Structure 1
Amino acid sequence: MAATQRITAGVALAAVCATVLCSCSSGRNGSEEGPRRPAAGPLPGSAVRLIGDGSTAYTGSQPHLPRPQRLKPGQRPPQFVVLSWDGAAEDSQKLFSHFRKVAKANNVTMTYFLSGLYMLPEEKRELYRPPEHSPGRSDIGFNDQKGVKDTAEQLRMAWLEGNEIGTHFNGHFCGNEGGVGQWSVEEWKDEVVQAKAFVKSWKTNSGLKEEPPLPFDYDKELIGARTPCLEGQENFVKAARDLGFRYDSSGTGKQVWPKKDGVWDLSMQLVPFPGHSDEQLSRDYSFMVSQSGNRTQGDPDKFEEWGAQFRDGLLQGFQRAYDGNRAPLIIGNHFESWNGGAYMRAVQEVIERVCTQPEVRCVSFHQLVNWLDAQDPQVLEKLRTLDVGQAPAEGWEAFLGRSPAPSPNSAPKVSAAKR
């Protein structure tokens, strides 16, 4: 490495380490889990290893990621709530940075599904070779240099605060003409490779070579995804198994305990839709379409009502799980100000109401799958016998009273591999 490059790398790594020290002083909850990884989880600056062009770096174990513990005999499961964001990026609305602050204030970790193209500036669009489409094509556009820089900053701090960086892939192609629902297993694998490549080379592609690296190895960090428009799950999951992913959140289902078939199926869920006899998916987009159709900004006189409907639907879904089967509640959102920001305000209120309650853990998918993998499979199988909102008739102590198998010595290992 040339002298100038060494100096630049040193400055970047010092910035990473300074950020780590600041973030670690904030503290996180987790008293119901095993000991968290050391607050000084990332390695000293001299031991940080740059990866590739320095867009990413290995800095040690992720701070604020607790070691999971098995349930004790007869112990009621915690109520997990997973808050996740599709196509996470920082733009002029600054919703990424806002919800990072909301998370820290309420002892929450989240999953940010990053679209790879948000790390690729418009002038480099031809680098993207989407399956079934011509080079440089994207249905969500690309970013500019400032957007790449701002998004990288948020990703860096989010990870250091214990949040997860997943993937929402790249071009967000939905529908029947070359949409992700028609992609083959091999095309999905190619899309994942490209999504990772844009994250691992954002400094070169954007020209922001003086910026600090992302403080993680994305090949190891990337363990799960959500497909665009929740399409193409069948072939993506086949690809995900080969790529070493640990979960997928692209399906739709009920509020019951999840199953694992090579990867955990952590699908979006149906929750109550206040004022309606049917239910709706637990995400802002689905409520919006039901309320204002294809218009992202409908009748302003309805904004407050629509936001309250979304908030109350999520709260009712939470409460029936909390009082019932304790199945994890999966919530999916977008950093968008649809219908006057009604859904963003609703999500924040849900976080503030539920995430501070006893036995509630608002966590990332990464933390949830760590906990699931640490449990006795027979206990999880028994939990899956409970229907939506169904608490054990005999009480939790009797229902889960049998002694489970011995707890593993450590958290499960993460395999290599991915809006």
Structure 2
Amino acid sequence: MRMLTRRGMGRLGVAAATTAVATGVSGCAADLPFGALDSGAGKGKNGSAQATAKPIGDGSTSFTGAQPKQPAKPVPLEPGQTPPQFVIFSWDGAGEVGNGLFPRFLDLAKQHGASMTFFLSGLYLLPESKKRLYNPPNNARGASDIGYLTDEHVKATLTNVRRAWLEGHEIGTHFNGHFCSGHGTVANWTPQQWRSEIDQAKSFVKEWRTNTGWHDLPSLPFDYEKELVGGRTPCLLGQDNLLPTARSLGWRYDASSPGGRQVWPVKRNGVWDYPLQAVPFPGHSFEVLSMDYNMLANQSVNSTNAPAYNYPGWRTQAAQAYISGFQRAYETNRAPFFIGNHFEHWNGGIYMDAVEQAFKHIAQLKEKGEDVRLVSFRQFTDWIDVQKPEVLAKLRGLDVGQAPAGGWKSFLDDTVAASAAGS
């Protein structure tokens, strides 16, 4: 397995990338199944977002009731039941920078009744003119290794984040300044410094109206203190020191681990650990991390001078890597499949095309009636939290690509029945 993590990347491209390489493989309608969307939740009589929004703080955010388009309340697996195949598409940064990628994938999700997770960088709601409000740990005040957005792009990001939540997606965090190298790298931050970073990320979301002076734009329709239950660190660094802070804040999961395997997840420090996963990489003997940047780094290293004649083959290779990872889980241990992306046009946008192709491949199985569920990390956490510990322990006993001996009908039958009898 060859894994490279995203480092030193600016908002609009890839700077000289330092890569880490590891080898070796080591309240919804009760009649809706979990994964089906309840289009009525959180809506008024006219089907629009509830008109009785209650402003929070300066009105940057507001309470509008239950989030729309959420699955029904999850239930434990039954004896003989095959686990659903969960697939979580997630996006790092989640800013709209004028390339149309944020609305493109909102449209795609809406078309297929899917939910995703958007890890919003707090700085994407902070005008550059106010950058000195940001005091990053071990870095100069106002510093950031990603660019600040223009005012118009901040407004566009607000529009798309608002739309995303109203359409059932999760808004997590990608923190702020994306520091991946040097003295100030997030890899060296203490739990207390992570707390400062998180508090600032939340403040930029909760106080964008004060920081921008814009009073003619609608508020974000959620309470971010309650909405924020997980994130992904810059460059997949610093998780060990983040977890104690995440747990103290009541976070339910963290998606920062690199080099995970396609097996059922565990908790670390009381927080669900959802790693990016190693998946087959067509044409190679090693596996690749389930993230667009990792595809890029293994194909061309740099997106600024790669020859365009390679793009069609690389696009196909990236799409097939995602599809191969999905098929391996779907046909064997049914481990949830985690995919990470960025709203970037690297190598001519081929990775956006590849992830869309993989998304449609997966969605068509769902639409044919297969128990495939395109959900957010938060929604998956809702499901796994209600499963019996004995059942999860047995699922974790299945290795990558290992189907249950004798099939699913018998695999969980005794475990689930014994668990039910003892409860």
Q: Taking structure 2 as the reference length, what is the TM-score of the superposition? A: 0.87
Aligned-partner Cα distance in 1 for 2:412–2:299: 41
Q: Find the counterpart in structure 1 of residue 296 from structure 2.
A: 288
Distance 1:35 1:285, change over 3 A: closer
Displacement of 1:178: 1.0
Q: Find the counterpart in structure 1 of residue 392 from structure 2.
A: 380
Q: Find the counterpart in structure 2 of residue 8 from structure 1.
A: none
1:235-254 correspondence to structure 2 within 5 Å: 235-252=241-258, 253-254=260-261
Aligned-partner Cα distance in 2 for 1:149–1:124: 15
CA contact (8 A) 1:311 1:347 kept: yes
- Of 337-346 and 59-68, deviating more is 59-68
Aligned-partner Cα distance in 1 for 2:102–2:57: 27
Aligned-partner Cα distance in 2 for 1:197–1:297: 38
CA contact (8 A) 1:106 1:351 kept: no
**Matched residue type, 1:266:** Y
Q: Find the counterpart in structure 1 of residue 67 from structure 2.
A: 62
Q: Find the counterpart in structure 1 of residue 313 from structure 2.
A: 305
Distance 1:296 1:355, change over 3 A: farther
Q: Taking structure 1 as the reference length, what is the TM-score of the superposition? A: 0.87
1:376-415 correspondence to structure 2 within 5 Å: 376-402=388-414, 403=417, 405=419
Q: Where does structure 2 lack aligned partners over 5 or more consecutive residues?
A: 1-28
Q: Find the counterpart in structure 2 of residue 4 from structure 1.
A: none
Aligned-partner Cα distance in 2 for 1:212–1:52: 14
Aligned-partner Cα distance in 2 for 1:166–1:394: 39
Q: Where does structure 1 lack aligned partners over 5 or more consecutive residues?
A: 1-27, 408-419
Q: Find the counterpart in structure 1 of residue 14 from structure 2.
A: none
Aligned-partner Cα distance in 2 for 1:329–1:81: 5
Q: Give yes or no for the alignment of 1:189 onto 2:195.
A: yes
CA contact (8 A) 2:35 2:374 kept: no
CA contact (8 A) 1:78 1:360 kept: yes
**Matched residue type, 2:204:** F
Displacement of 1:297: 4.7
SS in 1 for 2:130: helix
* CA distances 1:261-282 after superposition (whole Å, capped 9, x unpaired): 3110000000001111000100
**Matched residue type, 1:326:** R
Aligned-partner Cα distance in 1 for 2:354–2:36: 33
**Matched residue type, 2:200:** Q
Aligned-partner Cα distance in 2 for 1:259–1:296: 39
Aligned-partner Cα distance in 1 for 2:37–2:419: 23
* CA distances 1:366-415 after superposition (whole Å, capped 9, x unpaired): 110000001111111100000001110121111110326469xxxxxxxx
CA contact (8 A) 1:249 1:266 kept: yes
Aligned-partner Cα distance in 2 for 1:45–1:311: 39
Q: Find the counterpart in structure 2 of residue 329 from structure 1.
A: 337
Q: Find the counterpart in structure 1 of residue 3 from structure 2.
A: none
Displacement of 1:83: 0.1
CA contact (8 A) 1:184 1:235 kept: yes
CA contact (8 A) 1:225 1:248 kept: yes
CA contact (8 A) 1:89 1:151 kept: yes
SS in 2 for 1:82: strand
SS in 1 for 2:341: strand
Q: Find the counterpart in structure 1 of residue 18 from structure 2.
A: none
Distance 1:373 1:63, change over 3 A: same
Displacement of 1:33: 2.0
CA contact (8 A) 2:127 2:212 kept: yes
1:277 to 276, 281, 285: 285
Q: Give yes or no for the alignment of 1:258 onto 2:281.
A: no
Q: Give yes or no for the alignment of 1:134 onto 2:140.
A: yes
Q: Find the counterpart in structure 2 of residue 144 from structure 1.
A: 150
CA contact (8 A) 1:297 1:338 kept: no
Aligned-partner Cα distance in 1 for 2:249–2:324: 36
1:367 to 366, 379, 384: 379
SS in 2 for 1:239: helix
2:121 to 107, 115, 124: 115
Distance 1:339 1:404, change over 3 A: farther
CA contact (8 A) 2:77 2:83 kept: yes
Percent identity for Structure 1 against Structure 2: 52
Aligned-partner Cα distance in 1 for 2:150–2:299: 33
Displacement of 1:206: 1.5
Distance 1:297 1:114, change over 3 A: farther
Q: Give yes or no for the alignment of 1:41 onto 2:42.
A: yes
SS in 2 for 1:355: helix
Aligned-partner Cα distance in 1 for 2:181–2:237: 8
